[in-house]
């Protein structure tokens, strides 16, 4: 498959072509994939109704592209290299042949238990090969996977299962994360009390903690795979059939199920993988994300496998057994491409250079960054200590909703600039608008980032609620997809993402909705009201600052604080725990009852003067109290 851009001039030409003739551009790329039947129409779209269809009428199955088509040419090459949590445990390799066989076998297990095309399957697993196998097995038979990150609570799992009405769950007894063993199955059991739609639960063995197995509902993965054949023809899918749902947080309400479909997502994740990282035959690609997030879906599983790459799947955490673990993995597996998040870089930087110095990182060719803005200090450390100034850094901007990378350098093609995502990839037409929605033309401007034309990986709908998709992404600015991000375009036309402009916080590269955290806190006994804002955090990028009103004076305020943290952990998961809690007697509200978050944000950032106009507040006195009790 030859999809790669080879020079900056080539990029400029391809970009131009993709804008002048988007359909022709993407049709040419799509020809490189295996289709059972060709599509009838390359693109149909309407941003007013949030409807996009790519390659309509085309018949295919993504697993035939990710697995079957490689068997003849690279069946014995490693598809997945698995590095376990404990470095003294052996790593394992699954060749394309073995992965194909295991996916087909597990797909037959799903079929045996009645799973049909279009059924929704919830996957809640550790980062072990069975997770990738489960994902691909769903895709093989046309079932829709909804992977839930292993750090989410029972309540969050239940919300996601119920929203999608999943009828089968795939999980594991537990997971290893550093020196911790996390009981996944028992969390899932707690969730399932609220989920009548789930009829079967398949449990893979990992930690061997005792688990309760319900007769008639729960089944062991290892037993089930012994009962079926390893031959499983792929289900024929329409390009616009749903491939997966992935829940993500927004500014309001509960997380929404972002829907991606088979054809466009396949083309887009593969094309962007091949180009941005400039993967070469035989290289090893190490994306450190969890498959529970979009980065793992697109750049551990689908993009690399459709391109015939070797993808490394790491179970553990960057600091176990010590802060040199990533570098040990790079040395051990001769990793060529490392793709990680600024949070990880900042955290490893904080442990000191002795963990990276002296490690053999000579195999590295390309470094990637994703999930949040990368600050210059982290960029330089990554460039010097990890890349030894020999590896281009691709700072990739994109979102769960975009399916794949959108604004990013192409390794060794696009000249980079620290902290800039640089230029749009071919097929991506960004623009900046002001508050009123007027386009900011020319360079040296900043505003809200929108996209004016569909690309194949664009979100198709929010599961079960299309209107929410219309409202969230296509209504703020008429005729445009609104990203929710602020952005600056410098004098060279380079893009730099400045962060969310809505009520979404980005904590360690994880998207967290302020409303979601407030709802969780408000469930705690005695809490009258709460308001959440983000503030700059040295390691996490942003931290969570909570202002909370209690119904009465608390006897033991530290205990109350801990209880509230426990409530958030129980309702959402530990990633949503506030870093700072300030108890207040009131919140700054306008006369119409709206919380003035601007003031809360400023105080959380440590700003006590220049709070702007507070004359419209119902009770301006609360501001003085808030400043007084500010948590440093």
Residue 486 Cβ vs ligand PRX, minimum distance, rounded to whole Å: 9
Cα 115 to chain centroid distance, Å, stands at 26
Cβ(369)–Cβ(343) below 8 Å: no
444/578 Cα distance (integer angstroms): 36
Q: Which is nearer to ligand PRX, 283 or 483 (CB)?
A: 483
Bridge partners for 122 per DSSP: 146, 169
122/138 Cα distance (integer angstroms): 10
532/600 Cα distance (integer angstroms): 8
Q: Which is nearer to ligand PRX, 189 or 290 (CB)?
A: 290
113/391 Cα distance (integer angstroms): 48
Residue 399 Cβ vs ligand PRX, minimum distance, rounded to whole Å: 4
Q: Which is nearer to ligand PRX, 284 or 422 (CB)?
A: 422
Question: For the chain, what is the radius of gyration of the CA atoms?
Answer: 24
181/445 Cα distance (integer angstroms): 49
Residue 50 Cβ vs ligand PRX, minimum distance, rounded to whole Å: 17
Residue 506 Cβ vs ligand PRX, minimum distance, rounded to whole Å: 5
At 295, is the secondary structure helix, strand, or coil?
Answer: helix
Return residues touching ligand PRX (CB under 6 A).
248, 294-295, 370-373, 395-400, 421, 483-485, 497, 500, 506, 511
C-alpha distance from residue 495 to each of 346, 422, 444, 611 (Å): 22, 5, 10, 29
Residue 28 Cβ vs ligand PRX, minimum distance, rounded to whole Å: 26
Q: Which is nearer to ligand PRX, 120 or 510 (CB)?
A: 510
140/111 Cα distance (integer angstroms): 11
Residue 366 Cβ vs ligand PRX, minimum distance, rounded to whole Å: 15
Residues in the chain, how many?
A: 632
Burial class (CB in 10 A: 0-12, 13-18, 19+), 45: middle
Q: Which is nearer to ligand PRX, 18 or 422 (CB)?
A: 422
Q: Which is nearer to ligand PRX, 460 or 511 (CB)?
A: 511
CA dihedral (348, 350, 356, 362) positive or negative? positive
Residue 502 Cβ vs ligand PRX, minimum distance, rounded to whole Å: 9
Residue 369 Cβ vs ligand PRX, minimum distance, rounded to whole Å: 6
Give the residue closest to ligand PRX by C-beta. 400
Q: Which is nearer to ligand PRX, 173 or 502 (CB)?
A: 502
Q: Which is nearer to ligand PRX, 294 or 309 (CB)?
A: 294
449/462 Cα distance (integer angstroms): 21
| Percent helix, percent strand, percent coil in the chain, to nearest 5 | 35, 25, 40
Residue 296 Cβ vs ligand PRX, minimum distance, rounded to whole Å: 10
Tally: H helices and E strands in the chain:
20, 30
Residue 234 Cβ vs ligand PRX, minimum distance, rounded to whole Å: 28
Q: Which is nearer to ligand PRX, 155 or 399 (CB)?
A: 399
Q: What HEC string does 313-374 produce?
A: EECCCCCCCCCCHHHHHHHHHCCCEEEECHHHHHHHHHCCHHHCCCCCCCCCCEEEEECCCC
**What are the backbone dihedrals phi and psi of residue 500, each rounded to the nearest 5 degrees, phi first?**
-70, 145
Q: Which is nearer to ligand PRX, 500 or 524 (CB)?
A: 500
Residue 417 Cβ vs ligand PRX, minimum distance, rounded to whole Å: 13
Q: Which is nearer to ligand PRX, 189 or 485 (CB)?
A: 485
């Amino acid at each position: 498959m030859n999809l790669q851009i080879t020079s900056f001039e080539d990029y400029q030409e391809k970009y131009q072509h993709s804008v002048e003739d988007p359909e022709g551009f993407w049709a040419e790329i799509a020809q490189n994939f295996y289709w059972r039947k060709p599509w009838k129409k390359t693109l149909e779209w309407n941003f007013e109704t949030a409807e996009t269809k790519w390659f309509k009428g085309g018949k295919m199955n993504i697993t035939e592209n990710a697995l079957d088509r490689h068997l003849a040419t690279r069946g014995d090459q490693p598809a997945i290299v698995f590095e376990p949590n404990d470095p003294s445990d052996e790593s394992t390799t699954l060749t394309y042949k073995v992965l194909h066989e295991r996916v087909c076998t597990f797909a037959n297990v799903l079929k045996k238990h009645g799973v049909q095309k279009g059924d929704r399957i919830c996957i809640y697993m550790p980062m072990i090969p069975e997770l990738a196998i489960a994902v691909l097995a769903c895709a093989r038979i046309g079932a829709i996977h909804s992977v839930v990150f292993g750090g989410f609570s029972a309540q969050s799992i239940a919300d996601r299962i119920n929203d999608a009405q999943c009828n089968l769950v795939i999980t594991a007894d537990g997971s290893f994360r550093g020196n911790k063993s996390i009981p996944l199955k028992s969390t899932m059991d707690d969730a399932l009390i609220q989920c009548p739609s789930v009829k079967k639960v398949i449990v893979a063995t990992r930690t061997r903690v005792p688990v309760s197995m319900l007769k008639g509902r729960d089944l062991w993965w290892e037993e089930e795979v012994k009962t079926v054949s390893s031959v499983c023809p792929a289900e024929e899918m329409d390009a616009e059939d749903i491939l997966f749902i992935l829940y993500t947080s927004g500014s309001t309400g509960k997380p929404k199920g972002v829907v991606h479909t088979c054809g466009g997502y396949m083309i887009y994740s593969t094309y962007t993988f091949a180009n941005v990282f400039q993967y070469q035959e035989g290289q090893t690609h190490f994306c450190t994300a969890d498959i529970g997030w979009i980065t793992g879906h697109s750049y551990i599983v689908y993009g690399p496998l459709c391109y015939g790459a070797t993808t490394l799947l790491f179970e553990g955490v960057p600091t176990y057994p010590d802060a040199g673990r990533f570098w040990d993995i790079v040395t051990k597996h001769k990793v060529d491409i490392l793709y990680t998040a600024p949070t990880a870089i900042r955290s490893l930087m904080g442990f000191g250079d002795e963990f990276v110095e002296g490690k053999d990182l000579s195999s590295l060719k390309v470094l990637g960054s994703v999930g949040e803005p990368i600050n210059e200090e982290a960029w330089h450390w990554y460039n010097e200590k990890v890349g030894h100034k020999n590896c281009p850094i691709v700072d990739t901007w994109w979102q769960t909703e975009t399916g794949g990378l959108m604004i990013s350098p192409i390794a060794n093609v696009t000249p980079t600039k620290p902290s800039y995502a640089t230029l749009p990839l071919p097929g991506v037409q960004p623009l900046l608008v002001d508050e009123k929605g007027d386009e900011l033309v020319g360079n040296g401007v900043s505003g809200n980032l929108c996209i004016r034309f569909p690309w194949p990986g664009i979100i198709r709908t929010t599961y079960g609620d299309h209107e929410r998709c219309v409202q969230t992404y296509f209504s703020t600015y008429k005729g445009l997809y609104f990203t929710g991000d602020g952005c600056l375009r410098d004098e060279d036309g380079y893009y730099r993402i400045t962060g969310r402009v809505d009520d979404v916080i980005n904590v360690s590269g994880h998207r967290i909705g302020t409303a979601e955290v407030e709802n969780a806190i408000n469930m705690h006994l005695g809490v009258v009201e709460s308001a959440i804002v983000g503030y700059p955090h040295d390691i996490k990028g942003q931290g969570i600052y909570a202002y909370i009103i209690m119904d009465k004076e608390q006897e033991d305020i530290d205990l109350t604080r801990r209880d509230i943290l426990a409530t958030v952990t129980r309702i959402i998961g530990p990633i949503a725990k506030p870093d700072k809690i300030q108890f207040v007697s009131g919140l700054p509200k306008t006369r119409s009852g709206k919380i003035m978050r601007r003031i809360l944000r400023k105080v959380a950032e440590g700003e006590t003067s220049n709070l702007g106009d507070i004359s419209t507040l119902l009770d301006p006195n609360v501001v003085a109290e808030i400043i007084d009790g500010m948590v440093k």
